[in-house]
């Protein structure tokens, strides 16, 4: 594809206004959210959405999340429900994505939904994302701003390392606070956890008043984005390691000797925020990566999900 000049925009009023202008003319802009950086394009503009897939080199059967400034904007595009209302009131803006049926006259490009009759919507909490979405005043389709299959970006530098020359601009809002993609809950049938993420499923269950259905591992069309080999560093990744072997670098958790530590204090929120940046740094060593065990509750469920994907066998 053509190489274009990627502008690095400061996240002040002028930079945000420029980013909204670029989105309006169908260009792609990477922007910070509290979870990871998103690669944004106008969700109503099929050419802009096609350009997102092209820039990422992403398989086009993988639907995208539409980002909006508030619940009122979400309701322009989806059929709203009482459960959506409760979850939005409790967790928006924040790291929760809701999948709901599309409504008539939704205006969303079919390339966003990959032909499904549902749409994933999210109101991000990052002030720069909110300002951009308010200025743009429309739905912004945004997958994580990394080439398909690579580690998700939590800084503007990560975005540029993967996508410079392929997108119009990146808005630099500093490192992401949550560090893991949003939790995705399907509400078009029984409430279902479609992807563990930056909001612990237990918190969603408290608000709903009952457990979420869990999707069978590796199964089901409803999680089309859940390709097993995802978030992959270049070198091999070995899980549940108690120490490094051979020339491995060790990614630790809790008090221990290691090359990178997700959280020396054993704090899962800190570990989530550190995970992708630590993987980027270890990946840059070119050595295989051993990973110490991480507890499998709360945010640990999403951390372990991403680590299993990083360790999964690759196609290429």
User: Of the candidates 41, 19, 8, 285, which has an alpha carbon nearest to the alpha carbon of residue 128?
Assistant: 19
Residue whose pair of structure tokens reads 């270890």 in the numeric block: 282
Candidates 6, 45, 109, 113; binder of ligand TXA (CB under 6 A) is 113
Nearer to ligand TXA, 40 or 233 (CB): 40
143 touching ligand TXA, by CB under 6 A: yes
Q: Is 118 annotated as a binding residue?
A: yes
Give the span between the Cα atoms of 314 and 312, in whole angstroms: 6
Give the span between the Cα atoms of 154 and 177, in whole angstroms: 8
Q: Is 67 annotated as a binding residue?
A: yes
What burial class does residue 104 get, using C-beta atoms within 10 Å of its C-beta: 0-12 exposed, 13-18 middle, 19+ buried?
exposed
Candidates 6, 109, 118, 155; binder of ligand TXA (CB under 6 A) is 118
Q: Which of residues 172-191 bind ligand TXA (CB under 6 A)?
A: 181-182, 184
162 touching ligand TXA, by CB under 6 A: no
Give the span between the Cα atoms of 174 and 154, in whole angstroms: 8
Residues 6+ apart with CB under 8 A from 161: 153, 280
Give the span between the Cα atoms of 302 and 178, in whole angstroms: 12
Nearer to ligand TXA, 143 or 196 (CB): 143
155 touching ligand TXA, by CB under 6 A: no
Candidates 36, 168, 275, 282; binder of ligand TXA (CB under 6 A) is 36
What is the smallest separation between the CB atom of 18 and Mg ion, expressed in angstroms?
25
38 touching ligand TXA, by CB under 6 A: yes
Q: Is 229 annotated as a binding residue?
A: no
Is there a contact between 101 and 118 (Cβ–Cβ < 8 Å)?
yes
DSSP state of 80: -
Residues in the interface with ligand TXA (CB under 6 A) total 30
Helix or strand (DSSP H, E) at 56: helix 46-56
Q: Closest CB to ligand TXA belongs to which residue?
A: 225
Q: Select from ligand TXA, Mg ion, none the partner in contact with residue 163, using the beta carbon and a kind-dependent cut-off of 5 to 8 Å.
A: none
Coil, helix or strand at residue 12: coil
User: Of the candidates 291, 231, 296, 285, which has an alpha carbon nearest to the alpha carbon of residue 261?
Assistant: 291
Q: Which of residues 47-106 bind ligand TXA (CB under 6 A)?
A: 62-65, 97, 99
Give the span between the Cα atoms of 69 and 216, in whole angstroms: 32
What is the smallest separation between the CB atom of 33 and ligand TXA, expressed in angstroms?
5
Nearer to ligand TXA, 90 or 114 (CB): 114
182 touching Mg ion, by CB under 5 A: no
226 touching ligand TXA, by CB under 6 A: yes
Nearer to Mg ion, 167 or 250 (CB): 167
> What are the tokens at 46?
């099929």
Half-sphere exposure of 39 (CA within 13 A, CB side): 31
What is the smallest separation between the CB atom of 193 and Mg ion, expressed in angstroms?
17
Q: At what angle do helices 156-163 and 268-284 cross, to 10 degrees?
A: 40
Residue whose pair of structure tokens reads 């929760």 in the numeric block: 96
Candidates 33, 113, 144, 304; binder of Mg ion (CB under 5 A) is 144
Only segment of 8-16, 73-81, 219-227, 282-290 that touches ligand TXA (CB under 6 A): 219-227
Q: Is 152 annotated as a binding residue?
A: yes
Positions touching ligand TXA (CB under 6 A) are 33, 35-36, 38, 62-65, 97, 99, 113, 116, 118-120, 122, 124, 142-144, 181-182, 184, 194-195, 222-226
């Amino acid at each position: 594809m053509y190489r274009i000049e990627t502008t690095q925009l400061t996240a002040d009023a002028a930079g945000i206004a420029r980013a909204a202008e670029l989105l309006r003319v169908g260009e792609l802009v990477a922007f910070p959210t509290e979870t990871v950086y998103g690669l944004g394009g106008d969700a109503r503009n099929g050419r802009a959405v096609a350009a997102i897939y092209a820039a990422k080199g992403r398989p086009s059967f993988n639907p995208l999340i539409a980002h909006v400034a508030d619940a009122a904007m979400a309701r322009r595009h989806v059929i709203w429900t009482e459960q959506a209302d409760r979850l939005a009131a409790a967790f928006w803006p924040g790291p929760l994505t809701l999948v709901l049926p599309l409504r008539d006259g939704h205006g969303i490009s079919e390339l966003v939904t990959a032909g499904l009759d549902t749409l994933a919507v999210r109101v991000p909490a990052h002030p720069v994302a909110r300002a951009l979405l308010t200025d743009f005043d429309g739905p912004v389709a945004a997958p994580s701003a990394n080439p398909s299959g690579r580690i998700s970006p939590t800084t503007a530098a990560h975005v540029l390392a993967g996508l410079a020359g392929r997108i119009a601009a990146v808005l630099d809002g500093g490192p992401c606070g949550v560090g893991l993609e949003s939790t995705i809950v399907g509400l078009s049938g029984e409430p279902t956890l479609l992807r563990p993420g930056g909001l612990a499923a237990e918190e969603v269950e408290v608000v709903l008043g009952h457990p979420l259905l869990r999707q069978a591992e590796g199964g089901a069309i409803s999680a089309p984005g859940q390709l097993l080999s995802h978030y992959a560093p270049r070198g091999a990744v070995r899980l549940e390691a108690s120490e490094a072997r051979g020339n491995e670098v060790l990614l630790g958790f809790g008090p221990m000797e290691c090359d990178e530590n997700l959280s020396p204090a054993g704090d899962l929120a800190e570990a989530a925020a550190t995970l992708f940046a630590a993987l980027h740094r270890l990946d840059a060593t070119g050595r295989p990566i051993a990973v110490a065990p991480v507890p499998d509750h709360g945010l640990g469920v999403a951390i372990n999900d991403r680590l299993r994907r990083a360790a999964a066998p690759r196609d290429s």
